[in-house]
A and B are shown apart, each in its own frame.
Chain A
Amino acid sequence: QKEVEQNSGPLSVPEGAIASLNCTYSDRGSQSFFWYRQYSGKSPELIMFIYSNGDKEDGRFTAQLNKASQYVSLLIRDSQPSDSATYLCAVNRGRDSGAGSYQLTFGKGTKLSVIP
């Protein structure tokens, strides 16, 4: 089965710093990439998605995609204590997986802790 790998963390950063979260994936057929934030005991919340190589910015968040290296990252600028959560990377399944392209494979998540 195709895999999505993330460092489990915890990743600790001081308030105001940049948090960098990384994800690698094995399915070369994947075309769409998602970052979800999950607070403890809650359901995942979609915060960013990216489909093209390069950077995509939305407020304090920047998603970066490099399909050749099969690598996607999320940068959080000016980190706040409220950003403390687990961040899940999700990748759509390529057509040769036999699945519909809208199915996602999730990583296990990286726990981020922003220290005041």
Chain B
Amino acid sequence: DGGITQSPKYLFRKEGQNVTLSCEQNLNHDAMYWYRQDPGQGLRLIYYSQIVNDFQKGDIAEGYSVSREKKESFPLTVTSAQKNPTAFYLCASSLTSGSYNEQFFGPGTRLTVL
């Protein structure tokens, strides 16, 4: 089955630690995205990537880093510089040509800082 997987589902972090969230897709999509969602809030874009080895900052990139070494994978690192990292993190992917680029989401990772 084609889809997007994220791991882990739940993640607990102590203050001062970096953590990496995994996102993998087998939809052959070019673009991948990371969003965070806080209670009662919409999705806010952290980083996005149109193509392997290239990525751009979204609206709230401070305290986060990403890599795109493979088309299928777009891991997100939440660094200790992120002041309020507790949130629901969502990875998405889409095509970037031909269609109108509907984005499809993975199941999410819920990060809690202890």
Contacts and interface: CB of A to CB of B under 8 A. Distances in A.
Interface in B89-114: 90, 94, 96, 100-108
Nearest to A31: B100
Contacts, number: 57
Contacts of A107: 42
Contact of B50 (A42, A51, A100): A100
Interface string B10-45: 000000000000000000000101010000111111
Contact of A51 (B33, B100, B103, B104): B100
A8 interface: yes
Nearest to A111: B40
B2 to A, nearest CB: 14
Interface of A: 1, 4, 8, 31-32, 34, 36, 42-46, 49, 51, 88, 90, 92, 100-104, 106-109
| Most chain B beta carbons < 10 A, residue from A8, A42, A104, A108 | A104
Given A108-B40, A108-B42, A43 B107 contact: yes
A103 B102 CA distance: 10
A51 B100 CA distance: 8
A88 B100 contact: no
